[in-house]
Homo-oligomer: A and B are copies of this chain.
Amino acid sequence: MRVADLTEEQLLARIVPELPAGAATLLGPGDDAAVVAAADGRFVVTTDVLVEDRHFRRAWSSGEDVGRRAAVQNLADVAAMGAVPTSLVVTLVVPAELDVDWVVGLARGLAAECGPLGAGVVGGDLSGGPLVVVGVAAHGDLQGRAPVLRSGARTGDVVAHAGVLGWSAAGLASLSARAAHVPARFVEAYLRPRSPLAAGPDAARAGATAMMDVSDGLLKDAGRLARASGVRVDLDRGALAPAADALADVARGLDADPWAWVLGGGEDHGLLATFPAGTELPAPFRVIGRVIGRVVDGAVGGVVGRGEPAGDDEPAVTLDGEAPGVATGWDHFAGRPG
């Protein structure tokens, strides 16, 4: 059965029963708007859109895959503030010829990610259109804590990461190359990224000074955090080596550089955070570098001043004190590295 065979209300009748209600939902779908609890008098909100043939291909991704990915990339942004997700609303553009089961699968994918967290899918809007477009706005509860911003990193902090690095890029490269033997976990990481969502609020409780979702590649996003905080970040190649080692076999088969995936690959949706030195890090955060001051007289890594920013022509992120030699990340907007 195709979308064109149903009215909007008939299609909604297939979708809505799949959606999780959510523990904070005071009024769910069906009225002009939903009502969600915001216990501490504030809510966190973020939004992201997935466009067919730019962010996913229907030949590779099931409806459930796309639903999971649409949920996770938004939930990771909520977690990166140190918040617990409460609710999502979804806009969905679907072609007339799309299989209704694909749309129901998308709802199940949203539910699979939101339900276990107690987050509800509380509203949405459907439209026809020439290709699939999935827009999500996600909301979270800071539980009385201050939001953890990108701008709070201080000289002397440790830089830590939770999640995988380069897995999504390795999976995408494998699919693109039609590689014969690819460990399923990399392809799955691309199709259905996993984010360590609970680590976001855990990091906030542990005193994280800055945090962000790593969606555009470690170097690019670390650079954003560094510039927002007015500091520089030096990453430790040794601490990142296990991530590169995990990708070595796949990279060899594709004649690729695993370090390019670790440092530049997007859409892994891990969390990058800074903590005061000596903080006992919540799992699964691992130290991957430190926040340093500005380079003066070639004394790379020397701490001078308190978090002086990198100049416009200086790298905000170094690797063992040197400028990294790989592409800096993925430009979602342009759909290309950049």
> What is the interface of chain A, defined by CB distance below 8 A to chain B?
7-8, 11, 26-27, 30-51, 54-55, 76-78, 80-81, 83, 87, 89-93, 122-131, 133, 135, 137-140, 142, 147, 149-151, 211-213, 228, 331-335, 338
Which 7 pairs across A and B sit closest by C-beta, in order of nearness? A8-B333, A137-B137, A135-B135, A38-B38, A33-B46, A49-B91, A32-B80
A interface SS class: strand
Determine whether the beta carbon of A45 is less than 8 Å from that of B36: yes
Q: Which residues of chain B are within 8 angstroms of A55 by Cβ–Cβ distance?
A: 127
Determine whether the beta carbon of A129 is less than 8 Å from that of B33: no
Determine whether the beta carbon of A129 is less than 8 Å from that of B35: no
A76 to B80, CA, bound (A): 31
Shortest beta-carbon distance from A336 to chain B in Å = 10
Shortest beta-carbon distance from A119 to chain B in Å = 13
Shortest beta-carbon distance from A239 to chain B in Å = 23
Check A34/B45 contact, CB under 8 A, given A133-B129, A137-B137: yes
Determine whether the beta carbon of B37 is less than 8 Å from that of A33: no
Shortest beta-carbon distance from A190 to chain B in Å = 18
Determine whether the beta carbon of B38 is less than 8 Å from that of A44: no
A50 to B92, CA, bound (A): 10
Q: Which of B36, B42, B125, B147 contacts A47 (CB 8 A)?
A: B125
A131 to B132, CA, bound (A): 12
Determine whether the beta carbon of B31 is less than 8 Å from that of A147: yes
Check A41/B43 contact, CB under 8 A, given A7-B338, A77-B32: no
Check A147/B333 contact, CB under 8 A, given A36-B45, A41-B38: no
Determine whether the beta carbon of B33 is less than 8 Å from that of A93: no
Chain B residue with Cβ nearest A92: B49
A49 to B51, CA, bound (A): 14
A55 to B133, CA, bound (A): 15
Determine whether the beta carbon of B32 is less than 8 Å from that of A150: yes
